[in-house]
Amino acid sequence: MITNFSWGEIDTEKLIFSLNVTMPIFFIMVLGYLLHQKTRLLNDSFAGYLNTFVFQIALPVQLFSSLSQSDFHTVWNGGVVVFCFTVSLASILLMFCLSRFLREKSLRAEFIQAGYRGSQALLGTAIMQNMYGETGSLALILIGAVPLYNIAAVVILTLMAPGGGCLDRKTLGRTCRGIVTNPIILGIAAGLLWSLLEIPQPVIMQRAVSSLSATATPLGLLALGASIDPKKAAGCWKPTVVSSAFKLFIFAALFLPLAIWFGWRGEVLMAILLMLGSPTTVSCFSMARSMGHEGTLSSSAVMLTTVCSAFSFTGWLYLLRTFGLI
């Protein structure tokens, strides 16, 4: 419950709590940016390999480590998975409707993807670790959202490609295979199965898994910081600002009250916030480019949302903390 709270006052303790969660994460991202832009110790090629390592190995191992050592019946919540899927679908449809107002049809697909597809796997993991020390609830969010994100991205970018496009059996098959073999989904599935079967882990395995999973957050944040390029964000500023506003603020403002109404609090509510308010993921740009789109709006949205998320996350955390919800 809220006690002695006034909108005209700032609770220093809660503000410091919020800053302690978010600022270390963004300091590491700034370091990655400086290493890339100023020293070239982290060049484009190395940053790309680093990002691949994090998403294909370190992050799946981290999710497996967290889930495999948890009580399955405590972690699993089908209602959260269904909620995240439904909210993600609603977000995609809303961005699609808004895209019809864009005069430049070539930007519509990028606008939609940049507005709904966030980097909750990486930044979400970092924030959940800072707050709770584990990522069990975040795994439920990823199960509910990530497969839908990937399917929608392929469909939208294909059908709205410059010059037109069509979804053939080969494209759909490749998409389905990509989802089934997604390392993050596999890591989550393996962790849940391990927890359900209550398989003991030898000390050697525990220490090896723990050491490898510890590399995911710092290396991923360095690679994300290195991917920020202000030069690519020169154009498409109006649709970029609109899609970024939805990604960081509007979807969270629309759907967080619904999650609160369902009774979710603490770690689960925080995971839902990360799904709704995470900055646009870097993979939006690479996927848009690989499917024939220019990529300018995508890269602009990645940069703008990543920079602004340092402030938006802090604000959301402060608000939820003030109302006693986390």
Q: Please report the domains of the chain, with CATH numbers, ordered by start residue.
A: 60-217+227-321 (1.20.1530)
> What 3-state DSSP class applies to 294?
coil
- The low-confidence residues of the chain, meaning pLDDT below 50, are 1-5, 7
What CA–CA distance (Å, rounded) separates 83 from 271?
A: 12
Burial track 231-249 (b if 16+ CB lie within 10 A, e otherwise): ebbeebeebbebbbbbbbb
Helices within the chain (DSSP H only): 12-34, 44-53, 59-68, 72-75, 78-99, 108-116, 125-132, 136-159, 169-180, 183-197, 203-213, 216-226, 237-245, 251-261, 266-277, 283-290, 296-322
* pLDDT, position 296: 80
> What 3-state DSSP class applies to 256?
helix
Residue 74 CB burial class (10 angstroms; 0-12, 13-18, ≥19): exposed
| Those residues with Cβ within 8 angstroms of residue 66's Cβ, 6 or more apart along the chain or in another chain | 134, 135, 136, 139, 191, 213
> What 3-state DSSP class applies to 118?
strand
* pLDDT, position 276: 94
* pLDDT, position 43: 84
Please give the DSSP secondary-structure letter assigned to residue 107: G
Nearest partner of 245 among 237, 235, 234, 256, judged by Cα: 237
* pLDDT, position 3: 46
Report the 3 state secondary structure along 258-271: HHHHCCCCHHHHHH
What CA–CA distance (Å, rounded) separates 303 from 227?
A: 8
| Those residues with Cβ within 8 angstroms of residue 83's Cβ, 6 or more apart along the chain or in another chain | 144, 259, 262, 272
Nearest partner of 256 among 128, 94, 83, judged by Cα: 83
> Residues for the chain: how many in total?
326
Which amino acid does the sequence have at 250? Answer: I
Q: pTM for the full model?
A: 0.83
What CA–CA distance (Å, rounded) separates 115 from 90?
A: 12
CA dihedral 242, 137, 281, 305 (to 10 degrees): 40
* pLDDT, position 253: 95
